[in-house]
Chain A
Amino acid sequence: MSFLSIRDVPKTYRSDGAVTEVLTPLSLDIARGEIVTFLGPSGCGKTTLMRMVGGLESIEAGQITLDGAVLGPPDRRRGMVFQSYAAFPWLTVRGNIAFGLRYRTDLTAEEKAEITDRYLAMVGLAGFAEAYTNRISGGMRQRVAIARTLAADPDVLLMDEPFGALDALTREHLQGQLLQINASEQKTTIFVTHDVEEAILLAHRVVIFSARPARILSVVDVAERLGGDRGHDLLRASEFQALRREIQDIIRAEYDRARQAEEAHAV
């Protein structure tokens, strides 16, 4: 029995009578503590699937279960980090990180303060605790969002291209920081990206999606191929490069197929 289980879940959008198939019914099992990256072209439906896990999109058929229980509307068990900076501008960095804790009745004020301080330190923002979020950089804001989500102690961490809007240097720094956090927190994580390197670097497994309507093209067990030690040094390893080419070939073949299908459709 896997921790997070997606079973025969499709997705279609209807607007003005037109039906768009976003996901072909697909299934995926994720173990407790596993980090899975969803890799695929923009707009393919990978984010939609992750949002369905988060309860932010309706589930029409099939089911998604967490620890055996069927998932419904969004709640604290599934924390989400968005691509756009979702840090609240009216709160300080500390206020943002503590936000989810205000709804916890099972914790004392001291425990809440202790948790907030711990995550402030974990993302390296202790020195900016009292700053408002429009005074700090985009990378720092995204660290605030990550710390805020982790502080709420979700069972599953959902990340929707969280570093997509950042410059390359900041992105690399945050990837490194996320790897460290992963090592200490051991959170079950789904991380959506269209960056092949990022997908390999962060994941235990990479799930490669087709163009819309999304199917799972392939699941690559990165942990088995590269081992557990992660970091940017890995990018130079020959096994990493081989894996990257392998995945790029799969994506390229899919891209060609999708384009041909589109052109055939257009004629």
Chain B
Amino acid sequence: MGMVEKRLSTKTQVILTLIFIVVMALLLWWADKSFDSYKQRVLRLIGIYGIMAVSLNLINGITGIFSLGHAGFILIGAYTAAILTLTPQEKEMSYLFGIQEWVKNLHADFFTATLAAGFVAAGLAFLIGWPVLRLSGDYLAIASLGFAEIARIWANNALTITNGPLGLKAIPEYSTIWWIYGWLLFTVVFIASLVNSSYGRALKAIREDRIAAEAMGINVFKHQLMSFVVGAFFAGVSGSLYAHWLTTIDPRITTMGPMLTFYILIMIVLGGLGSITGSLIGAALFAILFEWLRDLEQPFTFFGIQVPGIPGMRILVISVIFILVMIFWQRGIMGREELTWNNLYRWLFARRKKEGERS
């Protein structure tokens, strides 16, 4: 319900948020110590998916730009960061088709590389935003999808920069829980702060009715571009984290091609287009389901029936779950609501009040 009348004071909310962050940090610290490496990988993936989902949600859900180019920005970020963190010697070893001198000599630490990944992706979004954002609706979707494919095919063919189809291997696994969740926290705080400001209201207004937004004095194109660039920055950051989680990147369709865009799209639609907390829930659900359902691809017994292992079975099951969710929650789990302290309080309070009325 848009903006709700304040029930809790700002001070209480800030304190609750800080407590929440500390509790989450303790939980992560515990997970970092006691989880096995497989569970830790999934936990880190949830964080990376979270950044991807929240940033795409800013573009698609809040501003209403139906962009399908997110994987393009992630890919650019991944390559930028990986090229920066690999040492010149390592690069010389893996580039079989030769390497350009300047690419070879680029080197930076992980944090700088991640920042650079964000800025390169944002710069690219700024450049392609000029033509792409002149379009709207389906046309914009196709154009942005086209851009992402161009980026992927470029990575496949620019042999002396990206090592072409062989990809980059032996990328150091720098993406620890702390880096990933640190960046996730920054992403969520940045985007939530933007959305809860006059600028955020303007973006939502553009989503609701761009002609009316223009008539209210909002420079629609500039605001869309701003949202696109901010979203792309965090996509680039997530690309860097993703590359240092995967440790191997290549320009195949399944790793950083349109498939990834559609996965992120599923997350944000599942969680609720336009809801930041919904995107996080969607990302976590998707990552967990995707790993958990791996068992379906092994041979198993179902009520006494032998089911052979079918590769791709989990995608089928996820699709069914997705369809069911869409039937029962048309606007995703959260809709456009946010899981804020105020809303929690309101829901709890409303329930108690109803019970009181009944008795």
Question: Is chain B found bound to chain A in the same assembly?
Answer: no
B contact set with A: CB distance below 8 Å: none
A contact set with B: CB distance below 8 Å: none
